[in-house]
Amino acid sequence: MGELTIVNIQTASFIGSISLVLIGLVAVLFIDNLIKKVLGLMFLTDGVNLFLVALGYRVNVPGGAVIPIFTEGFFKAHNASMATAIGDFSARAGFCLPYALVLTNIVIGAATMSVVLGLIIRLYQRHGTLSSSEILTERMEND
Amino acid sequence: MTVPVSDLPIYALIFASVAIAILSLLPRDLYKAVIVGGGIEGLSLTVLFMRLLAPDVALTQAILASALIPALIFITVYKTSRWES
Amino acid sequence: MISPLFSFKDTVPLFVVIPIVVAVLSNFLYKRGRAVKVIAGIGVICLVSLPFLTSFDKNYYVFGAHPEVKSFLERGVAMTFNLGIAYQYTQLQMVILLVFSLMAALAVGVALTMQRRTSGVYLFLVLMAISAACAVALVDDIFNLFVFFEICTVAQAGIVAWMHDDDSFKTALKYMLLGSVAGAMLLLGAGFLLGSTGVLNISDMFEYFTSTLKQQDVPIVFMGLALVLFAWTYGGGLPPFHTIKSELYARASPEAGAILQAISKVMLISVGIIIARLFFWRDVTWQSMLIISTFAMIIGGALAMIQNDFRRLIAYVAVNQAGIVGIGLSFFRKLSYTPTGVRYAWGHDGMAFGIFHGFNEIIVTSALFISAAVLYQAYGHTRMPDIRGLLVKNRDFALLTLISMLAVSGLPPLNCFQSEWRLIQFAFGHGFAAVGLLMVVSTVMVFFALTKAFIMMFLRPPEAGEEAPALKMSFAIALFLVVAVGLEIFFGLNPNLVISPIKAGLGVLFGG
């Protein structure tokens, strides 16, 4: 099989992540149903996470990019010379700082989502509807 | 920029995850919206994270963002109303 | 700039750790009211005493420099960037954290005595919000800023939802939805900045932007500015988020409203300084900050004039004052740089006056919210048409409230006069005459609103046939009001006690 000329996977992931962010924003702001707003929040978080993970990808590395885990294979491939093994690893491995940010962000997303869902259940019990235009508008006599 | 053809499914997956996100906001049955938008979307992102050299992030994404959070939203839909009025 | 590992002199993280520990303990012991009161009391006293105990001999605290990495670097790799999570504690942070912890401690004292049953869970939410705000003031790492921003959002939504009525649940849900969007945007902006500079510490980004001048005009960095500005307007309660923030202040319990608006001011000042440090080399930064803050000032003042609910009125006054603080924060001079790397020509005065105004506002608006707490305790609501005739039997309360109201309006010799006068003079003297005029107009609007409130509630005679009400002020509330009024008068007479540490701190933060 031959090769095709496309944008590389990092650029495609950037484009996909920004699209997800935009879809999530539109969903949170403009869709009426509260559960779909929560889904939009999920897409927003997913888009930002995908952007950050794609930031850590290495493109155009001789020998291919590797997962940033220093395995036995590296050590043996360089005839047990630590300096060249570390040098080769650091040139080829993905940049792992954004991965730490993403791990924290996923857990933060889970926590905030559970608070939002609890509030939605409470509001449904009082109003009987999940439509945000009915629940979240201010009525004049309450103000 | 030339890439091997074996990477083609990944580009299709990136495009598909955006399409799945749009498609999950359309149905009026909220069960379908949650399962497609939460579970399937989360799984496609897990595969994508694996390909982008981050297996630890893929693990966390698989557990939390594609199993736990859709389950929580599913419970919320179950306790409130299934159909978008 | 790699410092040694943790030693007993480094008490900076205690600002964040002490409230979290007290919060977790009071949540754990939530059924025993007395234990919660004792623990919370000890915790807030420790927090208030911390700014006096922490030294700023280095001004820059790095934690987590792993000994392996440190030894690796000592083999001769030249490093200008820091390898740990960094906090920066200058005299500016000392001043802001001192006033914030004092007001928060007094408000926690009011919360402890105001409810019949002390609730450990409520104190948990309040103390987590306080710790997150302290962390936002100290942080030098843009990802930690995002984490504490999210913690603040959830804690504030919980504080509002504590009131258990329908309106407060609605406000909490709206605030959580918008807050999650703002947090995601902040993280996206942090990702853009990480991608374009390669570091996460703000001081390192500052060094990067001032040393490699060619790479500054990339659209990615501009987008990063836009996203961090978005999060700044959300955290500080500026338009377009002034409605949700004023709802938040108005619908929470009033002493919690005092803490909430203090948190907003601290976040406004801290994130504003971060934006100025990162993006001072673009004109659009100070222009956009100035426009947003001017809108906040005018809209807040205009909406305050038509309110009928006292808490809502004070909430809009808080938005108005946040606008004035934002105007002050945007008064930094654009840098004049050459490609050889000459850094900048700064004037810290405008920013220092803005931060001084924020300092004053934390004191004064908290005092007004506590006055609203007295009314809420007596009546169960704060609707001004239904409250009348309070002057007859509540002379002390009326006097303390009147002094705070006059302070917000900018009457000499109280503290807000000093800061507003300096800001208006700076505006007129540096070419922002329209902004100066609008500040004078907004002062008049706020004065009108508060005078209307005072006349409606205190000076109208009681209904015919009813006797004048006598309000009960608990010791904690009386202490709060007396301390606040004392601070207003003291800092009105000695403004340079605050302005010089702020200028020194700004010199350290922007001097590199």
- For residue C409, which amino acid is it? S
**What's chain C's length in residues?**
512
Residue A19 lies in domain: 9-57+95-137
Residue C57 reports pLDDT greater than 70? no
Residue C121 reports pLDDT greater than 60? yes
With H, G, I as helix, E, B as strand and everything else as coil, classify residue C60.
Answer: strand
pLDDT, residue C412, reads: 83
pLDDT, residue C128, reads: 95
The residues facing C141 across adjacent strands are C201
Residue A1 domain-assigned (yes or no): no
For C257-275, give one letter per residue: b (16+ CB within 10 A) or e: bbbbbbbbbbbbbbbbbbb
- For residue C494, which amino acid is it? N
Partners of residue B5 in chain A, C-beta under 8 Å: 1-4
Partners of residue C172 in chain A, C-beta under 8 Å: 119
- Residue A37 near residue A133 (C-beta atoms within 8 A): no
Whether residues A101 and C191 touch (CB distance < 8 A) is answered with yes
Whether residues B79 and A124 touch (CB distance < 8 A) is answered with yes
> Nearest CA of chain B to the CA of A142: how many Å?
25
**What's the number of domains chain A is made of?**
1
Whether residues A41 and C153 touch (CB distance < 8 A) is answered with no
How does DSSP classify residue C351? Answer: H
Quote the percentage of chain A above a pLDDT of 90.
44
Contact with chain A for residue C228, Cβ under 8 A: no
Residue A88 domain-assigned (yes or no): no
Partners of residue A101 in chain C, C-beta under 8 Å: 143, 187, 190-191
At residue C76 the predicted structure's pLDDT band, cuts being 50, 70 and 90, is low
Partners of residue A108 in chain C, C-beta under 8 Å: 147, 150, 183
Residue B65 domain-assigned (yes or no): yes
Quote the percentage of chain C above a pLDDT of 90.
47
With H, G, I as helix, E, B as strand and everything else as coil, classify residue C86.
Answer: strand
C-alpha dist (Å) from residue A29 to A139, B72, C174: 20, 22, 11
- Residue B72 near residue A113 (C-beta atoms within 8 A): yes
Q: How many whole angstroms separate alpha carbon C43 and alpha carbon C157? A: 23
Pairs across A and C, CB distance < 8 A: 81
C-alpha dist (Å) from residue C235 to A124, C182, C262, C282: 28, 9, 11, 22
The complex scores an ipTM of: 0.92
Residue A139 reports pLDDT greater than 60? no
Q: Is the peptide bond before C240 cis (omega within 30 degrees of 0)?
A: yes
Residue of A106, A116, A133 to mutate, testing the B interface (most B Cβ within 10 Å of its Cβ): A106
Nearest by Cα to C267 from C156, C405, C383: C156
Q: Which residue has the tokens 């919060």?
A: C23
Contacts of the segment C178-181: beta carbons below 8 A, 24+ positions apart: C178/C234, C178/C241, C178/C244, C179/A112, C179/C150, C179/C153, C179/C154, C179/C234, C180/A41, C180/A44, C180/A45, C180/A109, C180/A112, C180/A116, C180/C150, C180/C153, C181/A25, C181/A28, C181/A41, C181/A44
Partners of residue A45 in chain C, C-beta under 8 Å: 180, 184
Contact with chain A for residue C200, Cβ under 8 A: yes
Taking the mean position of all CA atoms in its chain, how far away is CA B3? 26
Average pLDDT over residues C250-254: 89
Between C170 and C85, the more confident residue is C170
**What's the number of domains chain C is made of?**
1
Partners of residue A3 in chain B, C-beta under 8 Å: 2-5
Average pLDDT over residues C373-378: 88
CATH of the domain at A111: 1.10.287.3510
Residue C306 lies in domain: 14-511
- Residue C325 near residue C357 (C-beta atoms within 8 A): yes
Residue of A43, A52, A58, A133 to mutate, testing the B interface (most B Cβ within 10 Å of its Cβ): A43
Cα torsion through C279, C284, C288, C291, rounded to 10: 140
pLDDT, residue A140, reads: 47
At residue A59 the predicted structure's pLDDT band, cuts being 50, 70 and 90, is confident
Residue B69 domain-assigned (yes or no): yes
C-alpha dist (Å) from residue C27 to A107, C22, C158, C480: 21, 8, 14, 25
Residue B72 lies in domain: 28-85
Q: Which residue has the tokens 């959580």?
A: C176
- Residue A28 near residue A40 (C-beta atoms within 8 A): yes
Residue of A101, A121, A135, A140 to mutate, testing the C interface (most C Cβ within 10 Å of its Cβ): A101
At residue C413 the predicted structure's pLDDT band, cuts being 50, 70 and 90, is confident
Average pLDDT over residues B1-30: 83
State the pairing for strand pair A3-5/B2-4.
antiparallel
Helices C349-379 & C496-511 angle (0-180, nearest 10): 120
Average pLDDT over residues C39-62: 80
- Residue C423 near residue C327 (C-beta atoms within 8 A): yes
Average pLDDT over residues A48-71: 84
Q: What is the 3-state secondary structure (H, E, C) of C266-293?
A: HHHHHHHHHHHHHHCCCHHHHHHHHHHH
Average pLDDT over residues A122-143: 72
pLDDT, residue A30, reads: 92
Residue C4 domain-assigned (yes or no): no
At residue B44 the predicted structure's pLDDT band, cuts being 50, 70 and 90, is very high
Quote the percentage of chain C above a pLDDT of 70.
88
What does pTM read for this prediction? 0.92
Touching chains B and C? (3+ Cβ pairs < 8 A): no
Residue C1 domain-assigned (yes or no): no
Handedness of CA A7, A11, A17, A22 (dihedral sign): negative
- Residue C368 near residue C382 (C-beta atoms within 8 A): no
A78: Cβ–Cβ under 8 A, 6 or more apart, which residues?
A: A84, A85, A88
Whether residues C194 and A143 touch (CB distance < 8 A) is answered with no
Partners of residue A15 in chain B, C-beta under 8 Å: 14
Whether residues A55 and C194 touch (CB distance < 8 A) is answered with yes
- For residue C110, which amino acid is it? V
Average pLDDT over residues C312-333: 91
pLDDT, residue C465, reads: 72
pLDDT, residue C421, reads: 92
Average pLDDT over residues C354-368: 93
Residue C61 domain-assigned (yes or no): yes
Residue pLDDT, tens place only, A89-107: 878 888 888 999 999 999 9
Q: Which residue has the tokens 């205690």?
A: C14
Between C499 and C113, the more confident residue is C499
Average pLDDT over residues A13-36: 93
> Nearest CA of chain C to the CA of A60: how many Å?
17
Partners of residue A63 in chain B, C-beta under 8 Å: none
Between A116 and B4, the more confident residue is A116
Whether residues A97 and C194 touch (CB distance < 8 A) is answered with yes
- Residue C83 near residue C2 (C-beta atoms within 8 A): yes
Q: How many whole angstroms separate alpha carbon C482 and alpha carbon C473? A: 12
> Nearest CA of chain A to the CA of B55: how many Å?
8
**What's the number of domains chain B is made of?**
1
Q: How many whole angstroms separate alpha carbon A64 and alpha carbon A61? A: 5
Out of A20, A42, A107, the one facing B38 most closely (by C-beta) is A42
